[in-house]
Amino acid sequence: MGKEISMLSRRQFIKLSSISAVLPLLSLVKPISPASAAVMAKVPPDDPAGIALKYVEVAGAAVRTDKMGVPGSEQTCGNCRFYKDSEIPEWGGCALFQNRLVVKAGWCMGWIPAA
């Protein structure tokens, strides 16, 4: 009887030791949520939504008409309401493209001035 108790205690000790060794490591693991994965994806040149909205990575390559009092020549993703800076320089998430990355110097027909 005493031996069973000591075996059980030993097993529990080993189990608890391995769990307590792993727990601090779990705090280092950051899960990649579907939202952040989407934020990291760049809008490719052949993206259907990008084509529909005439998205270009160089704003000057697009015909931009004056909009809401802002000359077309001054419109870029960087001063668009839908643009949000990311950790990647010169790239930011665009709400119109499900927060996928667009070039700060780019442009599309969905442009509206930042608030």
Please tell me whether residue 54 adopts helix, strand or coil conformation. Answer: coil
For residue 56, how many other CB atoms are within 10 A of its CB?
19
Beta bridge partners of 33: none
CB 53, CB 110: distance < 8 Å: yes
**Joined tokens for residue 24:** 């601090």
Region near ligand SF4 per CB under 6 A, out of 9-17, 20-28, 30-38, 78-86: 78-86
Region near ligand SF4 per CB under 6 A, out of 4-12, 27-35, 60-68, 77-85: 77-85
Among 82, 99, 100, 101, binds ligand SF4 (CB under 6 A): 82
Contact between 91 and ligand SF4 per CB under 6 A: no
Binding site for ligand SF4 (CB under 6 A): 55, 77, 80, 82-83, 94, 96, 102, 106-108, 110-111
